[in-house]
Amino acid sequence: MKGVVVIGDHRIELREVDKPEPQHNQVLVRAVQAGVCGSDVHPYRAEPRATNPGLVQGHELVGVVDALGPGAEHLQVGDRVFVYLGYGCFHCEQCASGYPNLCLDRRDQGKMDRYQKGYSIVREEMALSIPESMSFGDALMLTCAGGTAWSALDKVRPTCHDSVVIFGLGPVGLMGVMWAKAMGAHVIGVEVIPERLELARQVGVDALLNPQEEDIVAGIRALTGGEGATVGYESSGNKAAQAAMLDVTSRQARIVYVAGGAPGAVIDPSPFGQWGKLALRTICGTVTYALTDWYPMTRTILRHGLKPEQIITHRFPIEQADEAYALTETGRCGKVVLEWPWP
Ligand SMILES: [Zn+2]
Ligand SMILES: [Zn+2]
C-alpha cells in the first residue's frame, strides 16, 4: 500500500509501505478517511530537512477494524472506529488524565509511520467505536479540528448569554462556530477567505466580518452593544488578530488562544490607564483535546443533530495526495480528506 511522506518545499512522495501486523493490545485499522491538517502543511511548506526520517504523515483517521492483536478484546473485526491523534505511553499522569497527546513519551512522533496510508496500527484504547447514526465524515471531523475546538471552548464555557467572537474560520474555527451555537451562544466570525465565509454561513454563524473590508473592532462593538464579545476564540494564528483580541472583547471576557502562528504578537497586560488593557479578562491557551472528550462530543452531535461532515469540502484518493496538500495550503476549502473505498 501507499503512504504519504512529506518532503518539504511543496513536495510529497508516495512511499510503498508494508501492511503492518498488530502486536499486543493493538488493532489494525483499515482507513476510510485520513484528514490533511493545517499542521501537515507546515513541514510541506518548509525547507526539506536533512533529518527527514521519511515517515508517513497524518494524525486524523477513521476506519474499520481489520485485525486484532493478542490481548485486544474490546473491539471486533468490522467495527467502525475513530482513532485518537496521539500515541502515548498510557501510564504517565498525562495519559491517565486523558491526554496521551501530551505524553512526554509519545510513541509515534518521529518514531513510527502515522495515518495517511491504507492500514494503520493503533493501540486498542485509542480506537473508539463510532455510533451507528454517525457518519465516518462526522467522526473524522472530531479527530483533530472538532476535538481541538471542543477542548478550547470547554476552557471558556460559552452559554446562551455570551457573544463569542471567532477569528479564523478554517476547520478549527468552523467547528468552534458549530459547538458554540449548540451551547446557545451568539457567534460572530471573522475571516477573509470567501469559501470559508460561506462555510461559516452554512454551519450557522450569526454574523460575519471581513477585516479586508471593514473595521472589525467597530463592527464587533456594534454587534455587542458597545461592550465587545464576552468570549474570544483566536484560531487564525494571525499576529494582528492575536493582538486585537483585547480590543474586541469585553472587560470580563474569557479568551482562548487556539492557533499557533508566527511568534511576535503583543498582548498588552498594562494594569494602568483606563482600568488597564487586560482589565478582568481571563486568557488561556489550549492544545488539541483529551481522549475522553470523544464522549461529550458525540453526545452533543447526536442530541443536537449536528453534521460536522458538512465542513469536509474535498475528498481525494491517496494517488492525488499532492493535490490535497496544495489545496489545503491555499485555505480555499474546508477540511480536505484522503478517502478509500468502503465498503
Ligand atoms: Zn490535525
Ligand atoms: Zn504517557
pLDDT of residue 266: 77
- In the reported structure, the alpha carbon of residue 40 is separated from the centroid of ligand 1 by a whole-number distance in angstroms of 7
- In the reported structure, the alpha carbon of residue 123 is separated from the centroid of ligand 2 by a whole-number distance in angstroms of 13
**Ligand (nearest to CA of 38):** 1
Kind and range of the H or E run holding 138: helix 136-141
Model pLDDT for residues 262-286, shown as the tens digit of each residue: 788 777 777 666 667 788 899 999 9
- In the reported structure, the alpha carbon of residue 37 is separated from the centroid of ligand 1 by a whole-number distance in angstroms of 4
Q: Cβ of 221: how many Cβ atoms within 10 Å?
A: 17
pTM: 0.96
| Under 8 Å between Cβ of 214 and 147 | no
- The pairing of beta strand 26-36 with beta strand 119-123: antiparallel
**Ligand (nearest to CA of 147):** 1
- In the reported structure, the alpha carbon of residue 281 is separated from the centroid of ligand 1 by a whole-number distance in angstroms of 29
CA proximity to 11, closest of 51, 54, 62? 54
- In the reported structure, the alpha carbon of residue 58 is separated from the centroid of ligand 2 by a whole-number distance in angstroms of 20
| pLDDT at position 9 over 70 | yes
- Cα–Cα distance between 339 and 335 in angstroms, integer? 12
| pLDDT at position 248 over 80 | yes
Q: Phi-psi category of 264—alpha, beta or left, where left has phi over 0 and alpha has psi -120 to 50?
A: left
What dihedral do alpha carbons 37, 39, 42, 45 form, nearest 10°?
0
Q: Structural domains in the chain? A: 2-129+307-339 (3.90.180.10), 149-285 (3.40.50.720)
- The pairing of beta strand 335-339 with beta strand 312-316: parallel
Kind and range of the H or E run holding 40: helix 38-45
Model pLDDT for residues 164-208, shown as the tens digit of each residue: 999 999 999 999 999 999 999 999 999 999 999 999 999 999 999
- In the reported structure, the alpha carbon of residue 145 is separated from the centroid of ligand 1 by a whole-number distance in angstroms of 6
